[in-house]
Chains A and B, each alone.
Chain A
């Protein structure tokens, strides 16, 4: 059974600081996704990571994937208040399955 664990589950940080969210998964996977969810809203796709060593960046967020370690990281650089949200990683099973297994999410609060 594929399990996805995120840590930390809650993260409070100051504006301007850097931090990393971790996503571990238990079995080999084809793809890893990062989503953002604002309170009371739907999920917005941030990154799709397909292969070992993949790195993607958008603004102050950078995601990477290490398939050997079954680990993805979401790095936040010089955080701003607008990044406050809950961030989810989700993983598909290897072999072409389209079913996503989600982590519990990391609730990020960026304080002025």
Chain B
């Protein structure tokens, strides 16, 4: 099992460009999350999904969009990149119904907007 995979690993964007960060999981987990981590900070929740077709905003959703058409995939879209979106982005999954409900994180995408 690959677990949680994210592509690309690194990306440099110019201001105003758009891109999609990909997240795929093979653990059949219903819950999926997108976080961003700014230097020296903890993670902040951007969007999350509790199942295919269901998404909701987290703490910092502005400037981002998501979709969830399948259990496996949860892409994050940046429409008009801004320098404030320079960050490391982590996707995470979680198994519904577990007492512990720990989240499993992907390797991250390091994004720079210039």
Query: Number of contacting residues on B, CB 8 A?
Result: 24
Stretch of A13-21, A57-65, A66-74, A102-110 at the chain-chain interface: A102-110
Which of chain A's residues have a CB closer than 8 A to the CB of B90?
A: 42-43
| CA of A30 to CA of B99, assembled, Å | 10
Which of chain A's residues have a CB closer than 8 A to the CB of B99?
A: 50
Which of chain B's residues have a CB closer than 8 A to the CB of A92?
A: 101
B45 touches A100 (CB 8 A): yes
Which of chain A's residues have a CB closer than 8 A to the CB of B102?
A: 33, 45, 48
A88 within 8 A of B: yes
In the complex where A98-B94, A99-B58 touch, is A88 in contact with B43 (Cβ < 8 A)?
yes
B64 within 8 A of A: no
Which of chain A's residues have a CB closer than 8 A to the CB of B104?
A: 45
Cβ contacts A16-51/B at 8 Å (1 or 0 each): 000000000000000101000000011111001010
Most buried by B among A31, A41, A90, A100: A100
CB distance from B57 to the nearest CB of A (A): 10
B45 touches A99 (CB 8 A): yes
Q: Which of B48, B100, B106, B107 interacts with A99 by CB under 8 Å?
A: B48
Which of chain B's residues have a CB closer than 8 A to the CB of A99?
A: 33, 45, 48, 58
B77 within 8 A of A: no
| CA of A104 to CA of B38, assembled, Å | 10
Cβ contacts B80-112/A at 8 Å (1 or 0 each): 000000000010001000011111111110000
| CA of A80 to CA of B45, assembled, Å | 32
Which of chain A's residues have a CB closer than 8 A to the CB of B42?
A: 4, 88, 90, 102-105
Q: Which residues of B approach A to under 8 Å, CB–CB?
A: 31, 33, 40-45, 48, 50, 58-59, 90, 94, 99-108
Q: Mind listing 17 A-B residue pairs with CB under 8 Å?
A: A33-B102, A43-B43, A43-B105, A48-B101, A50-B99, A88-B42, A88-B43, A90-B42, A90-B43, A92-B101, A98-B31, A98-B50, A100-B45, A102-B44, A103-B42, A104-B42, A105-B42
Q: Which residues of A approach B to under 8 Å, CB–CB?
A: 4, 31, 33, 41-45, 48, 50, 88, 90, 92, 98-105
